[in-house]
Structure formats: structure tokens, C-alpha cells
Structure 1
Amino acid sequence: MLTSKTKVAMGGVALGVIALWLIPGWILTLLVLGAIAVPVAAYLMLDPSQRRKVRARGRKRLGA
């Protein structure tokens, strides 16, 4: 069976392929940049202590 993360990833890829056919290039570029910019902006809005917690959690997950 596929995990839920795998299903979400496969759905994202399928949606991306469909978007390549249906959406003009410059709008698609804006969508991709927006998808990258939102999490980056959210991370930059965190306090330094919250950023440390996020980084520590990421390192903890890498070792597991």
C-alpha cells in the first residue's frame, strides 16, 4: 500500500503535469514562485527561538 505522503506527492505531480498543459507559462511560473515563497515567508516571520525549534526538529527527523 502507498503511504499518505506518497499519495499526496503523486497527486502533486499529476496536478503539475495537467497545469503545464492548461495554464500559460508566465502564470504557471507565478504559481510555482508563490508555492515556494509562502513557506519561506512563514519561516522568516518566526521568532529566533521558534526558528531554533524548527531547525532542531528537522535535524531530529533526519536521524530517525
Structure 2
Amino acid sequence: MSTRTKFVIGGVAVGLLTLWILPWWFSALIILGVIGTPVVAYLMLDPSQRRRVRAQGRKRIGS
């Protein structure tokens, strides 16, 4: 099992746990924050920086 898969499984487990323990609206804010933070960070990059990030992702796929 890859490290990324372990993180995804852990994230889903934590999300379900917060939905069970905390009020639904607070859990929804946490989940939206976890999803929205990387999206906003990516959108704040310059076009040249986005190209570099995409190129690194493609380079890793072949290695």
C-alpha cells in the first residue's frame, strides 16, 4: 500500500469521526478547509509556476 493511499484512508477515517462527534456544520467546515486549502494555493501560483508543478507531476509518473 502506497503512502498516498494511507493518507487518503486516514483522512476519510478522520472525516467520518468528526461527522460522528462534532456537529455536521463544523465537520463540513473542516472538510471544506482541508479540500480548499491546496486548491487556493494552486490557484495563487503564476502560470509559469503552475507549469513547473504539472511538469514535476508528469516526471514522477514515469520514474
Shared fold (TM-score, shorter chain, > 0.5): yes
Aligned residue pairs total: 63
Quote the offset at 1:16 in angstroms.
2.4
Residue identity in the other structure for 1:51: R
Secondary structure, in 3 states, of the residue corresponding to 1:56? Answer: helix
Deviates more, 1:44-53 or 1:8-17: 8-17
Residue identity in the other structure for 1:59: R
Q: Which residue number corresponds to residue 22 of structure 2?
A: 23
Q: C-alpha separation between the residues in 2 aligned to 1:42 and 1:59?
A: 19
Q: Spell out structure 1 runs of 4+ moving beyond 4 A.
A: 2-10
Runs of at least 5 residues in structure 2 that lack an aligned partner in the other structure: none
Q: C-alpha separation between the residues in 2 aligned to 1:56 and 1:24?
A: 41
Q: Does 1:59 pair with 2:63? A: no
Quote the offset at 1:14 in angstroms.
3.5
> Which structure is higher in RCO with an 8 Å CA cutoff and minimum separation 6?
2
Quote the offset at 1:5 in angstroms.
4.9
Residue identity in the other structure for 2:24: G
Q: C-alpha separation between the residues in 2 aligned to 1:62 and 1:24?
A: 40
